[in-house]
Amino acid sequence: MNKKQLVLGLLALVALAALVVWGRDKIHFDFADFRSQLALANWWKIAIGAGCIYLAYAFRAARWALLLRHNKKVGLFSLMGTQVIGFTAVALIGRIADPVRPYLVSKKTGLPLSNQFAVYIVERLFDAGAMALIFCLAILLAPPGAMPHPELVRKTAYWGLLLTVLGALFLVAVRLAGGMVATFLEDSFGIVSKKLGHAIGSKVRTFRTGLDTMHSFSDFAAVVSLSLGMWVLISLAYLETTQAFVASPELASMTPAKCVLLMVVSGGASIFQLPVLGWFTQIGFVTAALSKFFGVAWEPATACAATLLVVTFLGIIPVGLIWAQFEHVSLRKITVESESASEELPEVLPAE
């Protein structure tokens, strides 16, 4: 674990401890009710939610394959293993394992590592755009009074929609004139810090390399469709899982718009995912959101948050560990190798 991870881990631990101290005298937690909520849950709906998540991995593999097809044609679902093993590494080791997926794809296909990291950046930006678009539409199309703090939520949705549009315009600008954009940003931020300017310029050039994999509007449309389809599946997994807690009226009647809001909270909490500790901080954040935003009692909120973590994040671990055995992949070793490779990435990317 490097110094950055250690600092983040300590901050998360302090935040979790502060939450426990704050809630110790303010919240009476009934463990019997917590167990009852789990026992009474509709596990068929939870299974459907888990199925949606597994299907989303297939969408993710197909999207990566499409992003490679102008460099090397691979089977539409031939990269499933790289996705499953990669996300298993993240679940067990933390966000430090994010580079595992592009690293495994590079080893599997024989394509340059720099190209796969570029595809990874494009993939994550499409994820952010698809998630933001679904969030904005769900909030703006929700009937009046359907959301907590409606004015604040709607204002957030409008800003999110604006940022999504600006992001799309930036994507077009980088695709058409990536070298000029990179140089402009490098010079602009270089006034403040040469190192910062160089880093930003390198990232934009990396992004441009990834965008080069889309040669036509049909390529772009296919990637957008897969991204939206995948995040619709993830949203459906949240909806099915929350509505499975039939003993809680607030959860059983959860609407799609509310679930999308919850998904955004959960996604934000997972950005700095840490080994094991991050599981509990994410449960804490989602529980707090369910309680404060939607008025769910602490016991069903905690049961739901823990189940959501298992369904959407940890459920891939058994499959990933088995797949890694068949592929003769050591998660710890591949994480170290991929992290080292990612740190060298700016040096191997060509300047334009």
Would you give the DSSP letter of residue 60? Answer: H
Percent of the chain with pLDDT strictly greater than 70: 81
Among 18, 111, 55, residue whose Cα is nearest residue 235: 55
Distances (CA, A) of 266 to 124, 143, 173, 310: 16, 23, 31, 13
Beta carbons of 56 and 236 less than 8 angstroms apart: no
Among 188, 183, 237, residue whose Cα is nearest residue 57: 237
**Token output for 118:** 């570029």
Torsion angles phi and psi, residue 247, rounded to 5:
-75, -10
Assess whether pLDDT exceeds 80 at residue 22.
no
Beta carbons of 252 and 37 less than 8 angstroms apart: no
Torsion angles phi and psi, residue 102, rounded to 5:
-60, -35
Q: What span, in angstroms and rounded, lies between the C-alpha atoms of 270 and 234?
A: 15
Please give the single-letter amino acid code of residue 186.
Answer: E
Q: What span, in angstroms and rounded, lies between the C-alpha atoms of 124 and 40?
A: 37
Q: Residues with Cβ < 8 Å from 256, sequence gap 6 or more?
A: 138, 235, 239
Task: Give the per-residue pLDDT at 352.
Answer: 37
At residue 272 the predicted structure's pLDDT band, cuts being 50, 70 and 90, is: low
Give the three-state DSSP class for 254: coil
At residue 349 the predicted structure's pLDDT band, cuts being 50, 70 and 90, is: very low
Assess whether pLDDT exceeds 60 at residue 333.
yes
Residues in the chain: 352
| Mean pLDDT (whole number) for 276-304 | 86
Torsion angles phi and psi, residue 212, rounded to 5:
-65, -15
Task: Give the per-residue pLDDT at 93.
Answer: 84
Torsion angles phi and psi, residue 327, rounded to 5:
-85, -5
pTM over 0.75: yes
Q: What span, in angstroms and rounded, lies between the C-alpha atoms of 184 and 170?
A: 13
Task: Give the per-residue pLDDT at 255.
Answer: 87
Give the three-state DSSP class for 250: helix
pLDDT digits (tens, 9 = 90+) for 102-154: 999 988 988 888 788 878 888 888 888 888 888 888 777 777 666 666 676 67
